Structure 1
Amino acid sequence: MKIIVISDTHIPKKGPKLPSRLMKELEAAKLIIHAGDWSSMEVYDMLQQYAPVKGVYGNIENEEILDKFSSKELLIINGFRIGIVHGHGEKKTTERRAFDAFLDDDVDAIIFGHSHIPLLRYFKKVLLLNPGSPTDKRTQPYYSFVTLRIDDEINAEFTFF
């Protein structure tokens, strides 16, 4: 199953639409996961034209997004438990806040955003994944998103552009 994972799109502030490099990959997606900071429902509307969309709200959302999404989501995909959270808050690092959000949920992976810093690593046998941002790279050298394939195992591949 091909899943496209994004976060921190900040549309329309960081541009009027999703980048063409991302849209090309969305064409073959079976699921799209957004880890918050959509900024507008336009992003959701764009994404759902390609595949079903799951996600959470971030820390800069309008009421429409807050009404549509929760702060935390747990998906079960091919037997793997995948947590989604934006990762904003106070104290600790974004990564630690994301991990702590699922302490009681026995997850295999946690997808989060907020920092705009691409990350893929294991911590205490949990895969931590931050796709970065396809529209707002901040201090990073490239925009990014992740292609996640979940079958008998979880495989994650970054696209940097």
Structure 2
Amino acid sequence: MKVVVISDTHMPKKGKDLPVKLLNELQTCDCIVHAGDWQTLEVYHELKQYAEVIGVTGNVDSPELKSVLKSKEIFMAGSFKIGVVHGHGSGKTTEKRAVDAFTGENVDCIIFGHSHIPVNKAGEGFLLFNPGSPTDKRRQKEYSYGILTIGENIAAEHVFFA
């Protein structure tokens, strides 16, 4: 199973269109996960043209998005339990807020966004993954998104592009 993971698209403020590299990737995925800060409902509808979309709201999302999506999701991909949250809030780091959101949930992977900083590391019994942003790289050298390959294990990788 191939899951394309994105976050912090901030459209149309930071990009009028999704990057061609990402759109090409979406043609071959089984599922799309968006970890918040879409900004408008149009991005959600655009992604749904490619595959099933699982997403959460972030701190800049419209009331329309908040009426369609929750701030936290847990779903199954194969035999793995995956949690998705944006990670915004006060106190602690974005990573710590994301991890704390799933305390007691026994997830295999936590996907989060907010910081625009790509993260791919093992937590305590789970994978912690932030795809970065395909449209708003901020202080990063390149734009990015992620791919989870799910089979007997979960493999996560970033795709970086200029």
Following TM superposition, by how much is the alpha carbon of 1:56 offset from its aligned partner in structure 2, in angstroms? 0.3
Give the secondary-structure state (helix, strand or coil) at the position aligned to 1:25.
helix
> In the TM superposition, what are the counterparts of 1:80-119 in structure 2 within 5 Å?
80-119=80-119
Following TM superposition, by how much is the alpha carbon of 1:42 offset from its aligned partner in structure 2, in angstroms? 1.1
Following TM superposition, by how much is the alpha carbon of 1:125 offset from its aligned partner in structure 2, in angstroms? 1.6
Q: Where does residue 41 of structure 2 map in the other structure? A: 41
Which amino acid is 2:103 matched to?
L
- Report if aligned partners of 2:4, 2:31 keep a CA contact under 8 Å in 1: yes
Which amino acid is 1:14 matched to?
K
**Distance in 1 between residues matched to 2:122 and 2:81, nearest whole Å:** 15
**Distance in 2 between residues matched to 1:111 and 1:8, nearest whole Å:** 12
Deviates more, 1:86-95 or 1:120-129: 120-129
Following TM superposition, by how much is the alpha carbon of 1:19 offset from its aligned partner in structure 2, in angstroms? 0.4
CA RMSD, Structure 1 to Structure 2 (Å): 0.6
**Distance in 2 between residues matched to 1:125 and 1:82, nearest whole Å:** 12
Q: What whole-Å deviation, never above 9, does each CA across 1:53-97 have from its counterpart, x for those lacking one?
A: 001000001110000110100011111110000000000000000
Give the secondary-structure state (helix, strand or coil) at the position aligned to 2:64.
helix
**Distance in 2 between residues matched to 1:63 and 1:145, nearest whole Å:** 25
Give the secondary-structure state (helix, strand or coil) at the position aligned to 2:76.
strand
**Distance in 2 between residues matched to 1:100 and 1:137, nearest whole Å:** 25
Q: Where does residue 152 of structure 2 map in the other structure? A: 152
Which amino acid is 1:73 matched to?
E
Which amino acid is 2:110 matched to?
I
Which amino acid is 1:139 matched to?
R
Q: Where does residue 67 of structure 1 map in the other structure? A: 67
Following TM superposition, by how much is the alpha carbon of 1:23 offset from its aligned partner in structure 2, in angstroms? 0.3
**Distance in 1 between residues matched to 2:123 and 2:151, nearest whole Å:** 21
How many residues align structurally?
Answer: 161
Q: Where does residue 143 of structure 1 map in the other structure? A: 143
Q: Where does residue 51 of structure 1 map in the other structure? A: 51
Following TM superposition, by how much is the alpha carbon of 1:45 offset from its aligned partner in structure 2, in angstroms? 1.2
Give the secondary-structure state (helix, strand or coil) at the position aligned to 2:75.
strand
- The TM-score with structure 2 as length reference comes to 0.98
- Report if aligned partners of 2:33, 2:53 keep a CA contact under 8 Å in 1: yes
- The TM-score with structure 1 as length reference comes to 0.99
